[in-house]
Structure formats: C-alpha cells, structure tokens
Amino acid sequence: MRKQNDQQHEPSAALHLWTYEATLQAIPYLRAVVRSLRDHWLHVQSVRRQMQRLDSRPGRPDRQTLIRRAAAVQELGQADIKLEETFDELKAIDAFCLDPAQGLALIPFSKGDELAWYVFDLFSPQGLEAWRFHGDPLEMRRPLEQNAA
C-alpha cells in the first residue's frame, strides 16, 4: 500500500455520487473488485509474515534462507503492485475500501444536501446492508430503509 508521504497530490475532481439503483446494478462488479482486493491484501500480509519469520530466525541465515527471503521480497513487490492496482480500480469508480480484510467498501451518494456512503459488505448476501453520513463514526450503520429519498 502507498504510504502517506509517497502519495502524489492529484488534482481534486468532483466525487461521482451514486444513485441507489446504479449501486444495486454495480454489486456484481463491486463483489469481484472487493474480493480481489481482499485476496491481494491477504497475500501481502502473508508474504510479510513469511519474511518476518525468516528474519527472526536465530543466527546467520544460510543460503536457502537467503534465497527464500529474496524470493519473498520479489513476491511482496509484485503483490503490492497488484494490491495498488486493485485499489486504483475501486477508486476509478469513486468507491473506497474501508477494510480490505472484512471486505468493506464505501460508495458515495447524496442524502439531501449531505454526503453519505453506502456500506458494501462482501460477505453480505445482498451486498448493501447499510449506509452512513460522512460525519458519522466509521462504525455507524443505518438501515437502508432509512434511506428512502
């Protein structure tokens, strides 16, 4: 993942606000992208743990350990690139990952004059389970029935 200081400042563009109907139609695509994002994120975490285990072995590393670590470094680089590409794919449609491990993403929409977010849950049968205002705590989930415009 990109670190804060590594991010380039991009010109701010207007955020595309989704309608409920468009969000429902995009659920299969969102499922595929968020699932891919979760898989890539878990792979990055796995490779990092593998490297930590190799680095934490006592004594000098032998040849096999050095080879395995070099392969893990290369694999981590490739996994980071795939993860970043998937984050960018989500960002291209103005959807944002809230938690890759839990498969949560936020899709912006307008509730009156306020910015609000649909909460997409990869593990929910419906995909959309709730919504929240932008100013709400991240844990806040409002039932979709309250979203009747």
DSSP-derived letter for residue 145 is G
Checking if the pLDDT of 12 tops 90, the result is no
- The answer for residues whose C-beta is within 8 angstroms of residue 79's C-beta and 6 or more apart is 40, 43, 44, 47
Question: Would residue 2 count as lying in a domain?
Answer: no
Please write the tens of the pLDDT for every residue from 16-58: 899 999 999 999 999 999 999 999 999 999 999 999 998 888 8
| Look-up of token digits 């806040």 | 140
Residues 60-77 have a mean pLDDT of 93
Structural domain for 22, as ranges: 17-147
Question: Would residue 74 count as lying in a domain?
Answer: yes
Question: Would residue 119 count as lying in a domain?
Answer: yes
Question: Would residue 88 count as lying in a domain?
Answer: yes
Question: Would residue 134 count as lying in a domain?
Answer: yes
121: which strand partners?
Answer: 104
Q: φ and ψ at 28, to 5 degrees?
A: -60, -40
- Number of domains the chain contains: 1
Question: Would residue 4 count as lying in a domain?
Answer: no
pLDDT of residue 66: 92
DSSP-derived letter for residue 60 is -
DSSP-derived letter for residue 149 is -
Question: Would residue 7 count as lying in a domain?
Answer: no
Q: φ and ψ at 8, to 5 degrees?
A: -90, 145
- The pair of structure tokens assigned to 59 is 């004594």
Higher pLDDT, 1 or 144: 144
